[in-house]
Amino acid sequence: MAGEITPVLLIEDNTEHVDFLRKLFATPELSHFALATVETLAAGLAWLQTERCALILLDLTLPDSDGLETFLRVFEAAPAAALVVLSGTNDVALAIETVQFGAQDYLVKGRVDNQLLMRAMSYAIERKRAQRALQQAHDDLELRVRERTTALAQTNALLHHEVAERRKAEEATSASNRQLVATLAELQATQEEMIQRERMLALGRMANGIAHDLNNSLAPILGFSELLLMKPETLAALPKARNYLEMIHSAAKSSTRVVRRLREFYRYREPGEVLTPVAMNEVMQLAVALTQPRWKDQALAEGTQIDIRTELVAVPTIQANEAEIREILVSLICNASDAIRERGTITLRTDLRAERLVVTVTDDGVGMTEDVRTRCLEPFFSTKTDRGSGLGLGSVYGVVRRHNGTIDIQSAPDAGTTVTVSFPLQQEAAAPTTPPTPPASPTLRILVVEDEELVREVLEVYLSQDHHIVTTAVNGRDGLEKFRAGTFDLVMTDRSMPEMNGDAFAAAIKNLRPRQPVLLLTGFGDLMNGVGERPPGVDLVVTKPFTFDSLRAAMATVCPK
């Protein structure tokens, strides 16, 4: 809120760095943050017992504590505060590890200015607030489900009691009573289905929010790193600088895999999607090799010995997406290895049954309870409290479903697990093609509407590389005014914007000029394309974060030569 002072605690023993940060906090841009400083972990923990702060800036190397233990003790003492790690050049890997344990961000000492510090602190506070809101929403949902289940159980118990009493009192209506019992059974099944549907709908909304925020954050990272990689001379061709940029670029693309896997669960096979002949035995052997660090090296390091056996018979190829088939085999092998304690065996088999190719993955691990077995294909459901996202078997189910396959899971506690997946032998497939890199479009007049400054700048620089004439706007209302004042060959717009969102803006553009090409750039892109959602007025949905090639391909689609 305007005028509100946000308390910040700095735990740092380097006086030069403390003085530097105090000077930054004295600037007008950071005047709404109140900085308190301590030099040791003990002093910081004592301060947190009596004072409240929204954000902690933490040096991991202190006189009385060092490394990950420093972070864990501060995180435990102030779980509600956002936490940003201050990293030296030699402990970036440790800083990244703290982010995995719950830190909102990390900053490298000596590379901080007031703009970067303000953005990092603001983003950290907002991420922490979003995490708390998400957890509260999850808790509220679980409470409502329990309350509704209890009420339904009480209703069922009451109805059963009334049925019993009616049977005793009205012998002449026994036939009607039997019909009532059948009706009650149907009602119970319907109630369970409604509860399941409500849970899945809530999880879908949560996934949408995560995907949107994550993709919007990644868009400028991926965009600027790619631009600097294209022109490394802007950094005087320093090898270390280029190496850092390559790591940023790779990390940004890797982060998008979470969103892609959410899409894989929800989407169906798209018309015209290319399938190729897949030799299942070869893919299975490759999956075994790819997962060897998990089931052998990592397992041995943890004191577990796992043997893998393959019982492969001669089977024909199937028409499939080889990368997706390999992904589900890797996921099943990793799940099986996680289930084995001390010593065990994973057996992989292929077989032919009734014109179907059958793949079986069996382990003699801890197995699953019946409740876990029936829920393990749900998205976000996981028994791995300390690792994993809960997307593994849900993603496997999505891939199998899109290949017109079936999946069956048999398991019991202390009796291991057998996962059986079958695929039809005959599927129509288009001839495989390798899409060429899209050429640059002829010079176009383009209106870019985007409220995020960094994303807007990335788009402007991208498009200028191909000599397009670019006009920018900060929201839908601003974009509509500039559209009325000029003539454009193409309009690009974000979806989530203040004052007028992308959907309303695109519809207004089409009302003014029905044949105007409009691209919608959004972090929701994968999920929207997965379920076939396209708002009125939009010609094509492009997923953030985008690349130079994906942007060119989208432009070539809506603005052919």
Tell me the C-alpha distance between 538 and 256, whole Å.
23
Q: Which residues pair with 349 in a beta bridge?
A: 311, 360
Provide the strand spans (E) within 280-369. Answer: 305-311, 318-320, 343-353, 356-363
**pLDDT score for 512:** 93
Beta bridge partner(s), residue 85:
58, 106
Quote the pLDDT of residue 430: 43
CB atoms < 10 A from the CB of 256, how many? 20
The answer to whether residues 14 and 59 touch, using CB atoms and an 8 Å cutoff, is yes
Domains in the chain, ordered, with CATH? 6-127 (3.40.50.2300), 195-272+437-561 (3.40.50.2300), 276-424 (3.30.565.10)
198 in helix, strand or coil?
helix
d(CA 184, CA 387): 41
Residue 290 confidence (pLDDT)? 74
Phi and psi for 360 in degrees, rounded to 5?
A: -125, 130
Residue that is written with structure tokens 């605690």 in the block:
9
* Residue positions counted in the chain: 561
- How far apart CA 393 and CA 381 sit, in angstroms, is 9
pLDDT at 179: 83
pLDDT at 79: 87
* Three-state secondary-structure class, residue 113: coil
Q: Tokens 């695109």: give the residue.
A: 506
* Cβ proximity of 495 and 466 under 8 Å: no
pLDDT along the chain (561 residues), means of 10: 78 87 85 88 90 88 87 88 80 78 81 77 83 82 86 84 79 76 81 64 52 54 66 64 62 56 51 76 85 79 88 89 84 86 91 90 89 72 50 73 87 90 70 53 88 88 90 93 93 90 92 93 76 85 84 88 64
* Neighbouring residues of 84: CB distance < 8 A, sequence distance ≥ 6: 55, 56, 57, 58, 103, 104, 105, 106, 107, 120, 121, 124
Q: Nearest CA to 348 among 438, 242, 420?
A: 420
Cα gap 547→462, rounded to integer Å: 9
Contact 561, 240 (CB under 8 A): no
- pLDDT at 20 (0 to 100): 85
- Encoded tokens for 13: 């023993």
Q: State the SS3 of 39-103.
A: CCHHHHHHHHHHCCCCEEEEECEECCEECHHHHHHHHHHCCCCEEEEEECCCCHHHHHHHHHHCC
Q: How far apart, in Å, do the first and last CA atoms of the chain sit?
A: 50
**For residues 367 and 535, what is the distance between their CA atoms, to the nearest angstrom?**
45
Q: Determine the pLDDT at residue 386.
A: 44
How many other β-carbons are positioned within 10 Å of the β-carbon of residue 219?
26
In 383-496, where does DSSP find H-type helix?
A: 392-402, 453-465, 476-485
Supply the DSSP string of 464-497, one letter for each residue.
Answer: HHTT-EEEEESSHHHHHHHHHHS--SEEEEESS-
CA triple 503-504-506, angle to 5 deg: 65
Q: What pTM does this model have? A: 0.40
9: enclosing H helix or E strand: strand 6-11
Cα–Cα dist 160/184, whole Å: 8
Q: Rounded to an integer, what distance in angstroms lies between the CA atom of residue 114 and that of residue 35?
A: 14
Contact 339, 407 (CB under 8 A): no
Beta bridge partners of 35: 8
Residue 422 is predicted with a pLDDT of 92
Task: Report the pLDDT value the prediction gives residue 481, as an integer from 0 to 100.
Answer: 93
What residue type is assigned to position 456 of the chain?
R
d(C-alpha 426, C-alpha 423), whole Å = 9
The beta strand positions in 109-153, using DSSP E, are none
